C-alpha cells in the first residue's frame, strides 16, 4: 500500500535492492574473513591469549575490577553533578530576566564549545597549582570536573529544547489559573517534558561513561581502558583480547543504562496514559487557584474533561 512518505518499489527497484544487498553481504563477509586471517596469523586468536580471562582470577581482581571501579565512580559523580547543574542552566536560559539568560547562555556556549579533554587538562593543572588535592586523587577530580562542565552544558540545551517543544497552550493555561513562572515550570512544564527529554539525556549519560577513558589517556587516571596496557604486558601482549574484554564491559554497562532508561520511559508513558498527562497541572490548579470558579477554570482549560469541571465545582 502506497503512503505519502514511501512508494512501494517496482520490479526493477526490487532487483536493484537485491543486488545491493548481496554485494554488501559478500563485501562484509570478505572483510570479516580478512580480519580473522590477520588476527590468526599474528597469533591473537590463540587460546593462550584469551586463557587468563577464563582461568586466572587475577586478571579481574588485579586489573579489570580496580579500573572498572574508578570508571563507575567517575561516571557516577559526573552524572550526579551534571544532571542538576544542566537542569538549572537550561531553565535559566528560559528566564524572563535578560541578565540571567545572558549569563546562563554564555556559560553553556563556552563550555559546550571546548573539547572535554582540554577541560580535564585545565582542571588537572588548576588542582595542581591552586588546591590541596592529593596528587593521587587529582586525576579523578580533573576527570569529574571536565565531564561535569561539558556535559552539564549539553544537558542544559537538552532541557531547554524539551521545554520549548511543549505546546504554548500549556504555559498560557497555567497563567490563566494564576500560577507563577516558578510554579508553571515546576508543576506543568518539567513533568511533561521529562519523558521527551529522557532518550537524549540517557544518550548523554552514555557519553559520560565512555569519556572517562579520556582521563586514562593523558592524566594517568587508572580507569578501565588504561588497564589494557599493564594487563596485556603482564600476560604476554594479548592486546586484542584485552581490548575486546574491556570493550564488551563498556557495551554491557551502556546496555544496562539504556535498558533501564527505556523501561523508565515506558513506565512514565503508561502512567500518563492511565492517569492523564495533565494530572500534575490539575492537582496544582485545585490548590493554586483561588476565588469563585478557580477550580473549574483549571479543570476546563488544562484537563478539558468533565471531571475537571467537577473538581472546580467543589472549589467554590
Reduced to 3 states, what is the DSSP secondary structure of residue 107? helix
Same domain, 262 and 290: no
Q: What is the CATH number of the domain that holds 260?
A: 1.10.3720.10
SS (H, E, C) 109-161: HHHHHCCHHHHHHHHHHHHHHHCCCCCCCHHHHHHHHHHHHHHHHHHHHHHHH
Instruction: Give the pLDDT band of residue 7 (cuts 50, 70, 90).
Output: confident
Radius of gyration in angstroms for the set of CA atoms belonging to the chain, rounded to a whole number: 27
Same domain, 282 and 165: no
Same domain, 259 and 182: yes
Asked if the structure places residue 41 within a domain, the reply is no
pTM: predicted TM-score of the whole model, two decimal places: 0.73
Same domain, 303 and 219: no
Q: Does residue 276 register a pLDDT over 60?
A: no
What is the tens place of the pLDDT at every residue in 56-107?
888 888 888 988 999 999 999 999 999 999 999 998 998 888 999 999 999 9
Same domain, 247 and 297: no
Task: Indicate the number of domains in the chain.
Answer: 2
Same domain, 170 and 152: yes
Contacts 24+ apart (CB under 8 A), 58-66: 59/231, 59/235, 63/227, 63/230, 63/231, 63/234, 64/224, 64/227, 64/231, 64/245, 64/246, 64/249, 66/222, 66/227
Lowest mean pLDDT among 27-41, 69-83, 84-98, 218-232: 218-232
Lowest mean pLDDT among 34-43, 104-113, 192-201, 267-276: 267-276
Asked if the structure places residue 152 within a domain, the reply is yes
CB atoms near residue 228 (< 10 Å): 22
Amino acid at each position: 500500500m502506497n503512503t505519502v512518505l514511501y512508494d512501494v518499489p517496482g520490479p526493477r527497484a526490487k532487483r536493484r535492492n537485491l543486488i545491493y544487498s548481496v554485494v554488501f553481504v559478500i563485501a562484509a563477509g570478505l572483510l570479516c574473513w580478512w580480519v580473522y586471517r590477520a588476527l590468526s596469523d599474528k597469533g591473537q586468536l590463540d587460546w593462550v591469549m584469551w586463557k587468563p580471562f577464563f582461568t586466572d582470577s587475577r586478571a579481574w581482581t588485579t586489573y579489570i575490577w580496580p579500573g572498572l571501579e574508578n570508571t563507575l565512580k567517575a561516571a557516577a559523580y559526573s552524572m550526579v553533578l551534571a544532571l542538576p547543574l544542566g537542569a538549572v542552566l537550561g531553565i535559566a536560559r528560559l528566564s524572563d530576566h535578560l541578565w540571567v539568560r545572558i549569563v546562563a547562555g554564555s556559560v553553556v556556549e563556552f563550555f559546550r564549545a571546548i573539547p572535554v579533554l582540554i577541560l580535564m587538562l585545565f582542571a588537572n593543572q588548576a588542582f595542581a597549582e591552586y588546591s590541596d588535592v592529593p596528587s593521587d586523587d587529582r586525576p579523578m577530580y580533573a576527570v569529574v570536573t571536565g565531564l561535569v562542565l561539558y556535559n552539564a552544558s549539553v544537558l542544559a540545551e537538552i532541557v531547554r529544547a524539551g521545554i520549548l517543544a511543549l505546546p504554548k497552550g500549556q504555559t498560557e493555561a497555567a497563567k490563566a489559573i494564576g500560577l507563577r513562572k516558578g510554579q508553571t515550570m515546576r508543576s506543568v512544564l518539567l513533568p511533561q517534558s521529562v519523558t521527551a527529554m529522557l532518550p537524549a539525556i540517557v544518550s548523554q549519560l552514555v557519553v559520560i561513561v565512555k569519556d572517562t577513558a579520556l582521563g586514562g589517556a593523558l592524566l594517568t587516571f587508572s580507569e578501565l581502558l588504561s588497564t589494557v596496557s599493564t594487563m596485556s604486558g603482564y600476560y604476554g601482549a594479548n592486546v586484542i583480547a584485552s581490548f575486546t574484554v574491556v570493550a564488551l564491559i563498556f557495551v554491557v554497562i551502556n546496555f544496562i543504562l539504556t535498558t533501564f532508561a527505556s523501561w523508565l520511559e515506558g513506565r512514565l508513558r503508561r502512567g500518563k496514559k492511565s492517569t492523564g498527562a495533565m494530572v500534575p497541572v490539575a492537582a496544582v490548579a485545585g490548590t493554586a487557584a483561588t476565588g469563585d470558579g478557580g477550580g473549574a477554570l483549571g479543570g476546563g482549560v488544562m484537563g478539558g474533561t468533565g471531571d475537571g469541571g467537577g473538581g472546580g465545582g467543589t472549589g467554590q
